[in-house]
Amino acid sequence: MDDKQQRKEEKRIARRKRRVRNQVMAYLAVIVLILALAGGIVIAVRQFTSESERQQEAQESSQEKIEEILAEEEDIEVPTPTPEPPVEMTPEQKLDDIAMAGIEVMPLEDKVAGLFIVTPEDLTGVATAVQAGDGTKDALSQYAVGGLIYFDKNIESEEQVKEMLRNTASYAKYPLFLAVDEEGGSVSRVAEAGIGEKVDSAQKIGQTGLSNNAYEAGVTIGTSLSSLGFNLDFAPVADLASVDNSVMEGRAYGSDAELVAPYVTSMMRGLQEQNVASCLKHFPGNGATAQDAHTGPAVSERTAEEFRSEEFAVFRAGIESGADMIMVGHMVAPALTEDGDRTPSSLSDRIVTDILREELGYDGVIITDALNMSAITDYYTADEAAIQALKAGCDMLLMPEDFRTAYYGVLQAVRDGVISEERINDSLLRIYRIKYADRVEE
């Protein structure tokens, strides 16, 4: 072998040795890495095991503390809570709930119509109503009035009246007031037709000196009306015949408030015991004038002090005895209004709201006297009078000169915001307290 070949062989051997050495170093590096990883895993496992043990110890310690607290609580006597007694609603609250449940679902048109009491002729358009058929049914469907008032011409016989009232009530969407003027004496629509027993006038009963006679008259009238189907009597008269030639002469029990008040409350009680609602009339005291509002203006010159000490005393006694309704007359009483205002009482907020509602504290139904009297129609249109009466504080409108004009006038006034719907609802609530009174047991 020459030198050149020898050097070539030596280089080959050297390269081989370097490859072997590199492989050995790679293997050693892998082994070292594996050993390092293994050591890290061992350390991590030990740390995890240690942490788990610490957590376990903490949980066991916490559980021991909880068990100690529970053990202590077992020794503590916890008082048994006394259940709250159920809140009992009063009959008045139940009645209001029943009434409002019905009022809230009424359309506005029916709410407004429910403030009117009209004659069957005004409702149906017939000349004289002595029966109730399809015409009455259709009219009540369109105009859900609050009530109807009947006069001599509507009453022919007992069976005729019963059938007419029974049919009328069955056609109505809502309970109706079926009303009549039955005071006794000359104002006796039913008795004058030969139905039931006729009773003496208030004046004659007052002259007996026995207020129980007024009670007996109320029972007699109430029994007759109830048997026929009437549920509202525009009586008793609470006026005093306090001036010469008083327009209430014969219809009033007398002129002395202290003597008259027991007669008024006694007759009222007699009617109510027969399930006939009563209506005291005519606030603030039509008997204080000799003029008749049926035919023109009626004015009283009584002072405010005289009204308060005399006429108001009678109405206050009726209010305290549970008067269902009070009728406000059309008499002008300048002494009771600001600056001698000569607005008819029924349209005066001073008399209706400030005095009757607030001063005397009356929260029952306030109804106008008949709005077709000359004291009203000579100065106001039907819709003007109706709107002003409601704004004054009246709840119900009796016999406007033109029912439809008055009805649509009030309806538009509510839609325009002149009268609020809440104000209408307040009146309806008072009205339905009477109509639904028999639905609440004491």
How do residues 201-236 score in pLDDT, each as one tens digit?
Answer: 999 999 999 999 999 999 999 999 999 999 999 999
Output the six-digit token pair for 386. Answer: 């109706």
Residue in the structure block whose two tokens are 């004289």: 128
Encode 177-192: b = buried (16+ Cβ within 10 Å), e = exposed. bbbbbbbbbebbbbbe
Encode 200-216: b = buried (16+ Cβ within 10 Å), e = exposed. ebbbebbeeeebebbbe
Output the six-digit token pair for 56. Answer: 């376990």
Helices (runs of H) and strands (runs of E) counted in the chain: 16, 10
Asked whether 312 and 268 are in contact (CB, 8 A), the reply is: no
What is the residue type of 409? G
Kindly state the DSSP code that residue 257 receives in the 8-state scheme: H
Residues identified as active-site: 294, 369
- pLDDT score at 214: 98
Task: State the CB neighbour count (10 A cutoff) for residue 254.
Answer: 19
- pLDDT score at 380: 98
Q: Which residues of the chain have pLDDT under 70?
A: 1-84, 86, 441-442
- pLDDT score at 77: 55
Residue in the structure block whose two tokens are 């004038």: 289
Asked whether 287 and 247 are in contact (CB, 8 A), the reply is: yes
What is the residue type of 80? T
The CA distance from 109 to 402, in Å, is 17
CB neighbour list of residue 37: distance below 8 Å, 6 or more residues apart: none
